[in-house]
Amino acid sequence: MIQLNTPEILFALHAVQQASALVKKVEETLVPGALTKGDRSPVTVADFAAQALVGHLLDEHFPADPLVGEEDSAALRAPEQRDTLERITHFVGMVAPAATSDQVCAWIDRGSAVSAPRYWTVDPIDGTKGFLRGMQYAVALALVVGGQVQVAALGCPNLNFEFLVSDSAPMQQAGAAGSLILAARGQGAWATPLSGEPAFRPLRVSDRTDPARARLLRSYEKAHTNTGKIGELVQALGVQAGPIGMDSQAKYAVLAAGRGDMLVRLLSSRQPDYKEKVWDQAAGSLVVEEAGGRITDLHGRPLDFTQGRTLARNRGVLASNGHLHEAALQALAQIGA
């Protein structure tokens, strides 16, 4: 059982619980039936509100710790964004009743830091299109110390908790409890229903060793990867099962639970020099490792969280149950990924 015995672990648990509940409230209030084509206003409100809330909570509990986050408030301060900022402040005020627009902007801007010997990193909504479709997205928070992720939490409001701990439950089910995944270095990876009192269950990667039977997790959005190279990788490994498409770091939770076997982030041909952002990988990487899996870049190098706001020394990401990792690295080298 994970020991909720440090301020950092408790902070990660409660911050992601509160941010996930806030984001879910935005989803339920603004998304259903309210969108026109191309309307991203609900995800904008949820994204900024969640980062502001984490910044606010960090001010209360770890005021000296830097935060590396995806958003900043510059655009929100423009006069034409006044209505959006007011909506963000309204939702943050549900948790922090005294919040003002200026305070909300300051809490958001806490995320403008770069990496330090000790820092937190947050992706307030990972999987924005999944959020807008009512599918998978995640609130991701991690503590990095000395370049190593030490504590990680993923809040996945639409990822059925029973799916992670049962062989029969569907991934997404109306009315089902979402999932909160918590990992601490040396203490394993655990899942609990997102709301209510914690009831942690351990997560463990699969023991699959045959690449032909591997279940590949991949981005739902084709623009996020190189679909041609994915096809070549599947062919090189002899994979027979169809891929599991889903958004966000929720994929790492599914991999950690043994419901998938491999995840690969190949570089899109549109962005061949793209560098992964620390907030996109930090939390999920520890969840996979603590569940018994392995995560590296496409060349087998450990992910380096010391290079500012990106994984500047890495190229892409490969995560697996560990048993399949070397075969996957060999196949990636073979196809020139």
* Structural domain count of the chain: 2
220 and 189, same domain (yes or no): no
**Tokens 């305070």 belong to which residue?**
103
272 and 198, same domain (yes or no): no
Q: What angle do CA 149, 154, 158 make, to 5 degrees?
A: 160
125 and 169, same domain (yes or no): yes
Query: Phi then psi for 213, rounded to 5 degrees?
Result: -100, 5
N-term to C-term CA, the chain:
39
184 and 270, same domain (yes or no): no
| CATH number of the CATH domain containing 151 | 3.30.540.10
Determine contact, residues 275/314, Cβ cutoff 8 Å.
yes
49 within a domain of the structure (yes/no):
yes
Show pLDDT as tens, one digit a residue, over the chain (337 residues): 788 889 999 999 999 999 999 999 998 887 654 444 456 788 899 999 999 999 999 999 999 999 999 999 999 999 999 999 999 999 999 999 989 999 999 999 999 999 999 999 999 999 998 998 889 999 999 999 999 999 999 999 999 999 999 988 999 998 899 999 999 999 999 999 999 888 999 999 999 999 999 999 988 766 556 677 889 999 999 999 988 989 999 999 999 999 999 999 998 778 888 999 999 999 999 999 999 999 999 999 999 999 999 999 999 999 999 999 999 999 999 999 8
Q: Catalytic pick from 44, 89, 121, 128?
A: 128
- Name the residue range of residue 266's domain: 211-335
Looking at the DSSP bridge assignments, the partners of residue 180 are: 155, 192
170 and 295, same domain (yes or no): no
171 and 281, same domain (yes or no): no
Distance in angstroms (rounded) separating the CA atoms of residues 197 and 223? 38
312 and 329, same domain (yes or no): yes
27 and 169, same domain (yes or no): yes
**Tokens 């040396």 belong to which residue?**
186
272 and 159, same domain (yes or no): no
Determine contact, residues 190/200, Cβ cutoff 8 Å.
yes
Question: Where does a domain end: 169, 202, 235?
Answer: 202
Task: Tell me the whole-structure pTM to 2 decimals.
Answer: 0.95
Determine contact, residues 187/286, Cβ cutoff 8 Å.
no
Q: Catalytic pick from 47, 109, 123, 247?
A: 47
Question: Where does a domain end: 181, 202, 223?
Answer: 202
| pLDDT tens profile 220-274 | 766 556 677 889 999 999 999 988 989 999 999 999 999 999 999 998 778 888 9
291 and 269, same domain (yes or no): yes
76 and 153, same domain (yes or no): yes
**Active-site residue flag, 128:** yes
| DSSP helix/strand/coil, 198 | coil
Choose among 184, 158, 143: nearest CA to 250.
158
